Structure 1
Amino acid sequence: MAIAKAERLMNLALCLRGTARPLTKRELRTSIEAYIEAGSEDAFNRMFERDKDDLRELGMVIDTVESLDGEVGYMARRDSNRLPPITLDVAESAALSLAARVWQQARLAGAASGALQKLRAAGMPLADDGQERTHALEPRVPAGEAAFEPLMLACRDRRPVTFGYRKSNAVRAETRQVEPWALECWRGHWYLAGWDRDRGDKRVFRLSRIDGKVRSRSGSFTVPVPGQVAVREAVAAWAGENATDRARIRLRSGSGYPLRARALSCRALDAEWDELEIPYGHGLGSWLAEFGPDVLVLDPAELRADVVERLRAVAKG
């Protein structure tokens, strides 16, 4: 459901629930901007009937009332559309607040803020309401990539997409055709898991490497979407979470704290360098390359070659 339609449904729901008497289609058409711009009467009637059916499918009870002069009106009585009391524990409250912050740099930031305000108005204490915090640091999940919102909508609506993607060891981006499954955040970076049609296999894409616009394609998915747990496992495995081996690296003193946090062992070599043993899995080469001259891979040889190749590609670009 596109954002424009979601906004139209919300406006219709507010009109039907906020009225003290049944509203006719004529009155609704002059009250909701999207209906005013609908064009012909037939186009408005089709749009209104679809919207009314969608609201009922979402659980809204809409009464149809016929007046004495035979004109039909619609309203959603408050007593028929009242939600049960909402109760949130501390963890659920924190999760809601964090989820809203994901949208702080996206187009729906206002909607997320409005949703939190409504929960507060209903008496729900949220994690950012001035309560005593359980952690000194406030968690934040940025969503600044331009590809985030169109991919999120494509995942929700099950729409295939195309986009340019530049691998870390490539100079130029290449076009990818993907059936998007889900977005996952890992170590502060957003990843898309999905089915790569050209390669005929599941793939994981880092959003910061998507080049240009994400474009939607017509048609439906060709393979089943796996469960959320399986998608998270795919992202973790691609990004190096599920390590199957060990690597030995040199790390400049006073740098690379994320690497130190994952180190299996660490010893000082001299005043400038430390030697670390870290878990080695798929995606480690990409991560190590981000530390540039502060990291030197000792072994295995294939990891060292991978990092060198990625750094050379960056230097050429």
Structure 2
Amino acid sequence: MAIAKAERLMNLALCLLGASRPLSKRELRASIEAYLEVTSEEAFNRMFERDKDDLRELGMVLETVESIDGEIGYLARRDRNQLPPVTLDAEEAAALQLAASVWQQARLAGAASGALQKLRAAGMPLAEEEREAYSALEPRVPAGEAAFEPLMLACRDRRPVTFDYRKSNAVRPQTRQVEPWALECWRGHWYLAGFDRDRGAERVFRLSRIVGRVRSRAGSFTAEVPGQVAVRESVARWAGEHATAQARIRLRAGAGYPLRARATRVSAAAQEGWDELEIPYGHGLDAWLAEFGPDVLVLEPAELRADVVDRLRAVAKG
């Protein structure tokens, strides 16, 4: 919606809400600057009718009242244009607080805090016993990547973007042209799902591997956005979550907690300071293991070991 039209609709809504009696079109035209600038009576009538329809589509309740002398007036009663009281249970309040915490590392932290304050003023605070139940473990969702906010806005506005992206086994980043669909946090990292124009297919990108600035592009999407974008499931496929076999690795003691959480068996290794783990082996496991660097040694299968070594060598050359 253009700013000029949004301002005009806001002024019309405020006039109708602030009036103690129905206002005629003549009175509204004399009170709103944007209407005064319309020289033609016919053009004003068309604009006014469109504005009324727009306000009603936005949910505003407008009444049409005929006066004694037959003149039509318009009114928006405050009691019919108010939201019902906000009521949240403990689980809903905790979900809102977690959602607001995502913004604490982004530019919209102030807006998120202000929204929570308004919700608390409307009755969101939990009872003391409920608050204690949720404060024992305070979840945090990091949003520190510079690419997070511009990509979030691009997803919201359905705006194509361009950015430089470095794959885990690549020495240099490559430019990607993407139609962004959705963002999701998985295992402490943010991922973007969208349509890669150069590859003509859906792709998932890890935000921490985006190099430099995310740049917006003109134009609209060329691919249809799915009704449900399963970011986590897509990432899981690439991270070896859908395993087809077992891998055996050696892991440094005290390191690699995510690997230990997925292990089907853990035992002490013959070498002091190391453990041996068996973990599900599927597509993409080599990229994940490479992220643990010198804390992981792949024992078998041989092809997985070779893939991890190749990735580490590519990173070392960079």
TM over 0.5: yes
Paired amino acid for 1:162: T
Q: Is the 8 A contact 2:13 2:55 kept in 1?
A: no
Paired amino acid for 1:314: V
Say if 1:62 and 1:173 are closer, same or farther in 2 by CA, change over 3 A.
farther
Q: By how many angstroms is 1:312 displaced?
A: 2.0
The residue that corresponds to 1:294 in the other structure is: 295
Larger radius of gyration: 2
2: CA distance between counterparts of 1:16 and 1:107? Answer: 34
1: CA distance between counterparts of 2:136 and 2:124? Answer: 22
Say if 1:174 and 1:128 are closer, same or farther in 2 by CA, change over 3 A.
farther
1: CA distance between counterparts of 2:51 and 2:106? Answer: 26
The residue that corresponds to 1:59 in the other structure is: 59
Q: Is the 8 A contact 1:186 1:236 kept in 2?
A: no
Which deviates more, 8-17 or 149-158?
Answer: 8-17
The residue that corresponds to 1:32 in the other structure is: none
Structure 1 gaps, min length 5: 30-34, 36-40, 66-72
Say if 1:271 and 1:214 are closer, same or farther in 2 by CA, change over 3 A.
same
Q: By how many angstroms is 1:287 displaced?
A: 2.1
2: CA distance between counterparts of 1:54 and 1:115? Answer: 26
The residue that corresponds to 2:81 in the other structure is: 81
Say if 1:275 and 1:74 are closer, same or farther in 2 by CA, change over 3 A.
farther
Say if 1:108 and 1:134 are closer, same or farther in 2 by CA, change over 3 A.
closer
SS where residue 163 of structure 1 aligns?
A: strand
> Is 2:316 the partner of 1:307?
no
Deviation readout 1:133-176 (Å, 9 max, x if unpaired): 24632100011111111111111122221111010111111111
Paired amino acid for 2:104: Q
Say if 1:50 and 1:175 are closer, same or farther in 2 by CA, change over 3 A.
farther
2: CA distance between counterparts of 1:191 and 1:213? Answer: 16
Which deviates more, 207-216 or 298-307?
Answer: 298-307
Equivalenced residue count is 298
Say if 1:224 and 1:87 are closer, same or farther in 2 by CA, change over 3 A.
same
The residue that corresponds to 1:70 in the other structure is: none
Matched ranges for 1:110-189 at <5 A: 110-125=110-125, 131-134=131-134, 136-189=136-189
Paired amino acid for 2:314: A
Which deviates more, 240-249 or 11-20?
Answer: 11-20
Q: Which structure 1 residue ranges, 4+ long, deviate > 6 Å from structure 2? A: 7-14, 20-29, 48-54, 62-65, 127-130
Deviation readout 1:95-143 (Å, 9 max, x if unpaired): 1111111111112112211111111111123599981124632100011
Paired amino acid for 2:145: E
Q: By how many angstroms is 1:27 displaced?
A: 7.4
Q: TM-score, normalised by structure 2?
A: 0.78
Q: TM-score, normalised by structure 1?
A: 0.78
Q: Percent identity?
A: 74
Q: CA RMSD in A?
A: 3.8
1: CA distance between counterparts of 2:107 and 2:13? Answer: 21
Matched ranges for 1:197-236 at <5 A: 197-228=197-228, 230-236=230-236
Q: Is the 8 A contact 1:93 1:127 kept in 2?
A: no
Structure 2 gaps, min length 5: 39-43, 66-72
Deviation readout 1:187-221 (Å, 9 max, x if unpaired): 01000011111111111000011111112222222
